[in-house]
């Protein structure tokens, strides 16, 4: 049982570590894109470090899984105790993080509103004029199948909008192969990137909560099994 629990933790750590590395090396990711926004709120800089956080968490999970598996196979009391302490600290940190998220949720909404304003200014200033910014927006919109940060109105009065004589990028239009103008009904335009991400999170809230509770349950079970095994191992085998 101990080996199974920690095998799952080890594989989860490898997956999280891989995602963290991908976020840092993928120049077209949404986080790298947000880092290019001018006049973005200072608090956004902390959010952009999520790649490093994922790498740290993934590496920690790999170490936890390794300690648990080796401790169970070798019946090492030292490894099992170290495993228990690390998992307990991680569990306490997760509980504290959940409380912080609940308490500071209004501040997160305020931060997202500031990011939206900065992103809209970024589009109106550079989309269609700055190749790097234009490419980042196009990559993001193609990947997420969305239009602008808030909606298609972000592109009004942008260099692209003025150069094409009041047309929106193809990513915003019902026919994604051609730009469209303001005669297209608003309900036919592709939704904005932020509303789409928010909708995706809202629709999967139950799944996210279930996964979080499952991880917490797995950690509690792993700690309990490690202590049972620790107590059964003779001190001479430590």
pLDDT, average across residues 137-142: 85
pLDDT tens digits along 91-125: 888 788 778 777 776 666 677 777 777 778 888 88
Average pLDDT in the chain: 78
Per-residue pLDDT band for 168 (boundaries 50, 70, 90) equals very high
Rounded-to-integer distance, Cα 20 and Cα 122, Å: 27
Average pLDDT over residues 193-204: 79
Identify the weakest region by mean pLDDT among 45-49, 148-152, 191-195, 199-203.
45-49
**Cβ density class 146-173: b for 16+ within 10 Å, e for less:** bbbbbbbbbbeebbbbeeeeebbbbbbb
Q: Which helix (H) or strand (E) holds 147?
A: none
Q: What percent of the chain has pLDDT over 70?
A: 82
Average pLDDT over residues 162-172: 90
pLDDT of residue 67: 80
What values do phi and psi take at 179, rounded to 5?
-65, 160
| Interval 11-44: pLDDT, tens | 877 888 887 787 666 644 555 555 555 555 555 5
Q: What are phi and psi of 230, to 5 degrees?
A: -60, -45
Average pLDDT over residues 74-81: 80
Q: What is the pLDDT confidence band of residue 159, given thresholds at 50, 70 and 90?
A: very high
237 pLDDT tier (thresholds 50, 70, 90): very low
The Cα-based distances of 44 to 36, 118, 125, 151, 157 in angstroms read: 11, 11, 20, 21, 26
Q: Using DSSP, state whether 181 is helix, strand or coil.
A: strand
Residue 150 has pLDDT above 60, yes or no: yes
Q: Considering the entire predicted model, what is its pTM? A: 0.58
- Is the pLDDT at 161 greater than 50? The verdict is yes
Contacts 24+ apart (CB under 8 A), 95-102: 98/212
Q: What is the pLDDT of residue 188?
A: 86
Pair 186, 229: CB distance under 8 Å: no
Of 111 and 236, the one with more pLDDT: 111
Determine the average pLDDT of the residues in 181-206: 81
């Amino acid at each position: 049982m101990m080996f199974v629990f920690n095998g799952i933790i080890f594989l989860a750590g490898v997956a999280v570590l891989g995602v963290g590395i991908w976020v840092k090396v993928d120049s077209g990711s949404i986080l790298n894109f947000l880092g290019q926004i001018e006049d973005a709120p200072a608090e956004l800089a902390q959010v952009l470090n999520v790649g490093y956080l994922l790498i740290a968490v993934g590496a920690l999970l790999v170490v936890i899984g390794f300690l648990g598996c080796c401790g169970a196979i070798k019946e090492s009391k030292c490894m099992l105790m170290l495993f228990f302490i690390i998992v307990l600290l991680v569990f306490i940190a997760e509980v504290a993080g959940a409380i912080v998220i609940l308490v500071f949720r209004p501040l997160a909404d305020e931060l997202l509103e500031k990011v939206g304003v900065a992103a809209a200014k970024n589009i109106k200033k550079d989309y269609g004029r700055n190749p790097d910014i234009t490419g980042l927006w196009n990559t993001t919109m193609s990947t997420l199948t969305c239009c602008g940060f808030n909606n298609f109105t972000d592109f009004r009065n942008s260099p692209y909008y003025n150069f094409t004589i009041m047309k929106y990028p193809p990513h915003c239009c019902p026919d994604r192969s051609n730009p469209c103008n303001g005669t297209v009904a608003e309900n036919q335009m592709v939704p904005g990137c932020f509303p789409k991400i928010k909708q995706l999170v809202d629709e999967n809230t139950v799944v996210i909560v279930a996964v979080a509770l499952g991880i917490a349950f797995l950690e509690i079970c792993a700690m309990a099994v490690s202590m049972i095994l620790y107590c059964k191992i003779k001190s001479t085998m430590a």
